[in-house]
Amino acid sequence: MKREFIRCLAGAAAGALLTGTSAVAADLTPVPAPVPPPVFTWTGFELGLHIGGGAGQTSVNLFDLFDFTKTYDDAGVFGGLHLGFNYQLMGPIVVGVQGEYNFAGITGNASAVPFNYLTTSIREFGSADARIGYAFNNLLVYAIGGFAYADIRNEINFQVTPGVPPFVTGFPVNRFFAANRYGFDVGGGLEYNFYGNWTARAEYRYYNWGTRGFADAGFGSPVTIAIPNHTSQETLQTGRLGLTYKFAWPSTPVVARY
């Protein structure tokens, strides 16, 4: 009887020992860490659309026939597309390049004696720029600037009254001066990643296309009608909103290794 009791006691002790060892072993099995979300980065190509408005100034100077300078305002809307590439350095610094093209309806006009009126029309403009910014995770604060061009057309209208037949009452003359203009742009903005690969931006930009001289050969015979040796200076301030899709972001999360 005593031997049977000892056997039962030994069996129970062995079973308890094995059970405890299994439980400890189970507790020591490593539990996989939760998968972190994808790491956000501003690195990648981008393509987007934008729309905005602009207000600027035209300054016309005629220094051969008159001591004449007239400055007047231009205003209108524009819209276009932008294409670029950004690279996020170690940390929050983001650098990039961007090109853009805009259709525009920016116009201005003024009356200025001895002329009936002066007009300006900016039909299109664009730029090739560099960007540098500071990223607060999904928010990018940036500066932008570079080379800018524009298709700008000016018109000068005046009344000719020679005082001799057959021009006793005079007649109006329009002179058109159209040219591609080149200069610079500079500005800054905010860009925010609001969903997936989509970002929205708000931006201010200043354009300066410098001063362009024109030599008008004129028309007519025997009387030549012309506005020789005058200059035109163009500047523009713009504000815009844009929507951009970014490519080449990491598609898989970064998983820690043990």
Q: Which two tokens stand for residue 64?
A: 């051969």
Domain for residue 19, yes or no?
no
Domain for residue 57, yes or no?
yes
Domain for residue 157, yes or no?
yes
Among the residue ranges 3-7, 182-186, 195-199, the one predicted with the least confidence is: 3-7
Tens digits of residue pLDDT in 232-257: 999 999 999 999 999 965 544 444 44
Burial class of 59 by CB neighbour count within 10 A (0 to 12, 13 to 18, 19+): middle
pLDDT value, residue 178: 84
How many domains does the structure of the chain reveal? Answer: 1
Q: Residue 84: which H helix or E strand, with range?
A: strand 68-88
Domain for residue 12, yes or no?
no
pTM for the model: 0.78
CA contacts within 13 A on the Cβ side of 59 = 11
Q: Which residue has the tokens 């009452």?
A: 169
Domain for residue 113, yes or no?
yes
Domain for residue 13, yes or no?
no
Identify the CATH number of the domain in which residue 105 sits: 2.40.160
pLDDT value, residue 136: 95
Grouping H, G, I as helix, E, B as strand and the rest as coil, residue 14 is helix
Domain for residue 29, yes or no?
no
Domain for residue 254, yes or no?
no
Closest CA to 60 of 229, 236, 238: 229
Residue range of the domain that includes 136 = 44-246
